[in-house]
Structures are given as structure tokens and as C-alpha cells.
A and B are shown apart, each in its own frame.
Chain A
Amino acid sequence: MESKMRPEAGVLGVFSDLARGAQAIRALRAAGHSDVRMASPAPFPELVEALGRPRSRLDSATLSGALLGVLAGFALCIGTAIAWPLVTGGKAIVSVPPFVIIAFEVSVLVGACVNLVALAVTAGRGRRRRPVPFDPRFSADRIGIFVVGDGLGDAETILRTNGAEEVRRVA
């Protein structure tokens, strides 16, 4: 399914070997190409490491969601217990130990939901900001390495010498 977004002009290399793809990325970065992108059918850590991209920062959103969940869980239990102050089982109206269970469950629930939203937002934004030309092979059995910026002739040579089975210009 082709993306509606139009990627910038650049050079696209297609690889069928993971080690060669990672090697090509490293060579491109060593040659001064700062905007190197990639599309692959699986989360190969070698490629992600070679790209040297910073770690995703969705942690802060997820952990904030979990913390919010703890507070919401306690607020729900304590607030409703005070709103209807009925002693049950001889326990205190605000009996914290049983409320910890609810707070924990709500924390996990809200944390997981926020994690999902954060993933959708960050991954979608990343895809729009750093698009790679669509090729159905990149979700099957090929790795696409896309270079954007100046010195595209040099990038073409690097991709070929590192074992790209196909190199083409994207206008």
C-alpha cells in the first residue's frame, strides 16, 4: 500500500543481506551522509544500531500515564469510600491495603493505553517526517536504504560497493 506522502529526492538501495545493509549504512554515515533512512521487514537491531538514531522517548509519556493511573486508582477508591462511608468487614473507611490493588490495576491499564497512544503518535509522526519510498519488498524480504541530501552520486557508489542488488534515484 503506497504512502500518500511523497519522499524527498534521494538514492534508494535495495539489499537482501542484513550484514551488508548494516555495513552500507555505516559507510554512508562515515562518508558524511547525515540523513540515512531504512525500511525493513523485521526489527533488525543491527540496522537500528548502524543508523545511530537516539532511543525513543515515549518512555516519559508511558511512565506519566502509569503514575496518573496510580493516582486515579487511589482517588477513585478513597473518593467513593468517603462519599459513601459504610464500614464493611470491620475495615477502616479509607483502608489503603485493598486500595493498592485497584491502584495497581488502574496504573497498568492507563500506562498501557498511554503507551499505545504514544506509539501511534510517535511512529506516525516519524513515518511522515522521515519517509522512505514505498516498495512491497521492504515488508517481505528486502531492506531499503534511502539517502537524502547532497552527494547522491557518492551515496550511489557506496551502496553499490557494499552489495546493494539494486540502486535507483528517487526524484
Chain B
Amino acid sequence: MLECQEATKKYMGRTAVDRMSLKVEKGRIYALLGPNGSGKTTLMKMVAGLVKPSEGKILYDKQPVGVESKKKIAYMSTEPFYYNYMTISDVGGYYKDFFKDFDLNKYVSLIKKMKLRMQDKVKSLSSGMAAKLKIAATLSRNAELILLDEPLNGIDIIAREQIISTIVESANEGNALVISSHLVDELEKIIDYAVFMKEGNLVMQGDAEAMREERGMSIVDLYKRIYA
């Protein structure tokens, strides 16, 4: 479904992503791993159509990302991005207006599960509550490709389990999830495929279980070995 071909993004002479090649297939959960500044967010933004690659191509269903791919890709950024005037209810209305795959009932149920209130203003939410809202809105889309950039940022340790289970419940044979995080411990148990990035480069990628067997260590240990 998604194919990055030598995708490169340069900013002011600095290369944020360097000749990244990657294929994403349905029915799997991908972990995009790496420390801050490794290029995970830039790569996700290129896939979401928010940033144009300086070189290389990003194809979705064999077409360059654009209007059509945005109908099928749900992206959750690491920063809050909803308009300040909005309430949680308005956010649901906005998604419903623009995304045909948005399930308002699922949104209402996730908002309830996350212990948020529909009438609350977005700008009055704490960072943890804002993070939960982003996840609820993004996962309420029945998108083919779901990109979650640092979904556990700002979430307390108790709520993390809830977020992880919500993410896993959203995964099915008809979609793919790409989750970027430096909190590898939390992702270890749910991922099918791991992609390690460092300073904009692809360091290693492969089936998570195969990696564990081949190297005789967990993804967490592998992460420590690569980045230590």
C-alpha cells in the first residue's frame, strides 16, 4: 500500500531524512524507532502529505501521496493542532465533515473511555487530555493507514495501557499502523515490524519476531545497542 523510494528531505542544508526506502503492507503494526531528531516525524509528515520530499518518491497505492491518499491515511502528529475555539465535540464534527471514514459513534465511545467531556474546550485541556483527544479522533477514522507520531507522549503511566489497548483494538487485516516512539518498552509487545532510524538514515528494518530470534535479544535491547 505505501512505498517510500529513496525519500529525502533537506532543510537549510541539513538532511532530516536521507534516501529512505520502506514498504508498508496491510495487516501489520510497524514501529518507527529512533531517538529525537532521527527523522521519524519528517518521514511521517511526508507520508501524510504535509511535507514534500526534496528527492525520491512516496507512493500510496502506486500514486504519489496527495488528495486521494489523504482519504485513506490518518495521521496523528505529536503536537496538538486543533483550533483553539473548538470543543471536543467540534473536533468530532470537523472530522465528520472532512473524512468519509470517520465513525462518530466510535469517537463518542472513545471520548467516554478516555474520560473526556464533549463540551470541554480544546485549549483548556491538559497535555495528557489533549494527547488522548488526538488519539481518539485519529483512531475513530477507519483509515487504511494510521500514522501515530509519539502517541504516548504526555500520557501518564496508568493511561498508557489504555492507549496501547485502544491502538491494538484498531488494528485489523484491512489496515496498517505505523507508530513512532522512543518508548520502546511500551511498543515491544504489540509490534510486528520494526524500523530503526538514526540521523535521518534507515539503520535496520525487519520482522520483529525474526529480529528477536536472529539476534537473541528483545527489540528494547536491540534499540539500546543501536543507539547507546
Q: Are A and B subunits of one complex?
A: no
